[in-house]
Structure 1
Amino acid sequence: MADTAQHAGHHAPPEGQGPCGRDTNEIAKGDATGTAAVANEAAPQPDDAPHRPPGHAALFLSFLRVGLTAFGGPAMLPHVRRMVVERRRWLDEKSFKATVAICQAVPGATVMQVSAHCGLKLRGVPGMLTAFAGFVLPAFAMITTLAALYWQNHELPAFQHAFTGIKAVTLAIMVHGGMDFAVRYLRSWADRVIALAVCGLALLELHPLLPLGLAVAAGLLVYREEDVPVPQPCTKTAQTMPGAGCPRENRNFRKGAIRLTAGLALTLTFLVVLALAAPRLYELAVSMMRTDLVAFGGALASLPVMRHEVVELRGWMPDSAFLDGIAIGQVTPGPIIMASAFIGWRVDQLLGAVIAAVSIFTPSLLFLLTADTLVSLIERSRLYHRGVRASLAALSGLLFSLVVAVVRSLPPEPLPALLAIGGFVALWRKVDPGIVVIGAAAISVLSALL
């Protein structure tokens, strides 16, 4: 589930890449060990594909199966592609690549967004909600069950020993993800200065959104034109040529605006009802929505904001428990920010878990309602690309400030340090994060018994 493998940076996207510079051609091809053979056998022919849109039951069950095995974050994209393009033939290759590019241009958990956007293309807004529900339901059910067990038993010695090892590996996962993030996004002196400044400000326990906003403002001023090249404008010829890849600027603009207006109205109504009926749940919903808004580059980037909201601002749990929730997220399918259900359970058990899980994805779903139009308007804006590049540099700094907070929360003993180092080496050698987490828990419990 860990989003430790982040995507490429927001530099000039060459042909075949999305607006944020991630290689959608490579993603859409799938893994090299088997996709090519499957594609040769199962790829739809031009005269009979794509198939007609599925019913809601088929859509839900298909994405439910994807959600049950959604370990590895963005590494799941080839599996989604094989399901919707090759096996089901609901979308053609070009449509799926466009979906990936759109979802990478807006904040949120990428695989969840791709699943929801596929549903939007196939069956409109009801289809988006159906695909979304199918994809996130397995992760929500597992994390909610584990959260209930954790909050009932977390003071037992066996739980404490197991989670000591798990927290150490969680540190390794964050360091590994932070290093990958830095390698991809800190490409110039300006990027590195922004990251260091944001890290320092975050360690002063300011709300992460403040240094993030300052970083974006600085990026608009310091980046030069050659630092943030953008795609060339679409021409009328390109817009009318099949496969040219240029969106029509005004296509579906009215539909997207109506969808977004209705979505915002429902969201505001939801928040007003919560504020009047259950102020604590209102705080939970707003905290989770703020967290999702900064998930550029992958869900891992949102963890510093989530921690600040939950640990420092609201005081719902200590650092150690928050890290346990993130660790539980590592061994369950779906995006890592589904750990919001763990937090929600602490606030108000099952109702809190539902509110948190819905809220953490609400901004992403609202973006998707008009993402096609939004991306066509901003993808060639130099200011947009400057701001996104600065935000990614800032998120690198926030991730390393989170690492410092995690180190402070670990007990000063040899075993956690050894497990953290061993976990980092295992992740570097491409071992599945879920296996690493379970192994660390087992070693920690065994060491306590011996």
Structure 2
Amino acid sequence: MAEQPAPSALQQPSLTSIFFAFFLLGITAFGGPAMVSYIRKMVVGQKGWLDSAVFDDGVALCQAIPGATAMQVTAYVGLRIRGAAGALAAFAGFGLPAFFLMMALSALYVSTSALPPVKALFLALQAIVVALVAYSTLSFGRTSLKQWIHVLIAGIAAALFLIGVSPIIVIVIAALLGIAILPKPEKKQENPVTTFQRPEKSFLIMLTMAIAFFVLLYILQPDLFEIAATMARVDLFAFGGGFAALPLMFHEVVDVHSWLDSTTFINGLALGQVTPGPIVITATFVGFLAYGFWGGIVATIGIFTPSFLFVVGTVPYYDRLHSSQLYQKMFQGILFSFVGLLLSVTVKLALAVPWSWFPGLLAVGGFISLLVGVEILWVVVAGVGLAGVVFVFMH
């Protein structure tokens, strides 16, 4: 039986309209998950493509599955209004501005990173990245850890990661702890508005194409396959949004494969923060520095393919997933573990920064600014401006 049309689709825009609407939004997509409110404003308020209830269902779904939340919400919107093709149009439109800009910045970084002004700039950005990840740890912890048992799971995760256990193993342990020791959550009511009968045939075609891409890459370019597969693996376990991918990506890129050293990885995170789109666009930087132009492309495909397929493939089963107490306990355990993983990444990133009075001042100032509600973009802009002023006066 064919898929039922979404009852909430108030208009049927063309695929081109969907692509360019999200492309224009993606140009100014700073703030990661904060972009969800802007997507809602465009989709529900301005365009009238979905009603608010169905949009909110999509946000809840995207928070419950691994991947960058804002990117996945765009795929959900496209899926609701034009099926899997609409999901691809929205997802690609929203992500391409960040990809193009990161490719250009990566090329610029390769040719200019040794220049003294650029070194001073990235020293400032490294300090701000430490402040940002520290703030994300605190923010994530305040909203997630409500009981001592939550803190216990987060602490176990941090300790395991700091002694060198793979983050993926830590996540599995946290999921099992969640199932074993967390109290039974309240049963959630099903919402029939989110029900599809089965995945579209076009989803199965896309899944087949993704598998074929990775198989061909493995046969033709094993090195490129390794970086694409690594980024896909990072995305597969990134429960909790884009920042949840950071501990996994750091571990794989720096500790396991040694594609970048920790300082260069921080510089990539800094560029990922000053570009629009999710912070996992750092994968493009990693791929470019490791294997050049094609490395940047395949790393980007790797980091976003699971996110996209999760949305398109999961929506038909959302009600069952949403009401499963076993899944809710597993998801909570994983979510608590990411507070610990983020804490351990904060420590590792801080150890990689060559601290002196100026980066220390920037880190403290950036952390306090974020704490009082200053937007990330303005914290970065102020840090870069101060770095420029200090460099001029000292040289």
RMSD: 1.7
Q: 1:412 to 1:61 in 2, by over 3 A?
A: closer
Aligned counterparts of 1:367 and 1:56: Cα–Cα separation in 2: 21
Q: 1:50 to 1:281 in 2, by over 3 A?
A: closer
Residue in structure 2 matching 1:213, options 172, 184, 206 = 172
SS in 1 for 2:49: coil
Q: 1:412 to 1:76 in 2, by over 3 A?
A: closer
**Contact preservation (8 Å) 1:186, 1:393:** yes
Deviation sequence 1:299-322 (CA, Å, 0-9, x none)? 111100011111111111111111
Structure 1 gap segments, 5+ residues each: 1-48, 235-244
Instruction: Indicate the larger mover: 355-364 or 439-448.
Output: 439-448
Alignment length, in residue pairs? 386
**Contact preservation (8 Å) 2:203, 2:312:** yes
Aligned counterparts of 1:148 and 1:366: Cα–Cα separation in 2: 30
1:295 positional shift: 2.3
Deviation sequence 1:110-154 (CA, Å, 0-9, x none)? 111111111112222221111111101111111111111011111
1:299 aligns with 2:299: no
SS in 2 for 1:229: coil
Aligned counterparts of 1:193 and 1:91: Cα–Cα separation in 2: 40
1:337 positional shift: 0.6
1:247 positional shift: 5.0
Residue in structure 2 matching 1:93, options 41, 47, 52 = 52
Aligned counterpart, 1:336: 279
Residue type matched to 1:93 in 2? S
1:401 positional shift: 0.5
- 1:58-77 alignment runs, 5 A limit: 58-77=17-36
Aligned counterpart, 1:142: 101
Structure 2 gap segments, 5+ residues each: 1-7
Aligned counterpart, 1:395: 338
Aligned counterpart, 2:365: 422
1:230 aligns with 2:187: yes
Residue in structure 2 matching 1:370, options 291, 313, 321 = 313
SS in 2 for 1:101: helix
Instruction: Indicate the larger mover: 193-202 or 168-177.
Output: 193-202
Deviation sequence 1:13-64 (CA, Å, 0-9, x none)? xxxxxxxxxxxxxxxxxxxxxxxxxxxxxxxxxxxx9653111221111111
Higher share of residues assigned helix: 2
Aligned counterparts of 2:22 and 2:194: Cα–Cα separation in 1: 29
Aligned counterpart, 2:290: 347
Aligned counterparts of 2:32 and 2:170: Cα–Cα separation in 1: 27
Aligned counterpart, 1:26: none
Residue in structure 2 matching 1:187, options 146, 166, 179 = 146
Aligned counterparts of 2:74 and 2:242: Cα–Cα separation in 1: 15
Residue in structure 2 matching 1:325, options 265, 268, 283 = 268
Q: 1:132 to 1:282 in 2, by over 3 A?
A: same
TM-score (norm 2): 0.93
Aligned counterparts of 2:120 and 2:183: Cα–Cα separation in 1: 51
Residue type matched to 1:395 in 2? F
TM-score (norm 1): 0.82
Q: 1:214 to 1:150 in 2, by over 3 A?
A: same
- 1:38-117 alignment runs, 5 A limit: 51-117=10-76
Instruction: Indicate the larger mover: 387-396 or 430-439.
Output: 430-439
**Contact preservation (8 Å) 2:10, 2:51:** no
Residue type matched to 2:365 in 1? G
SS in 2 for 1:370: helix
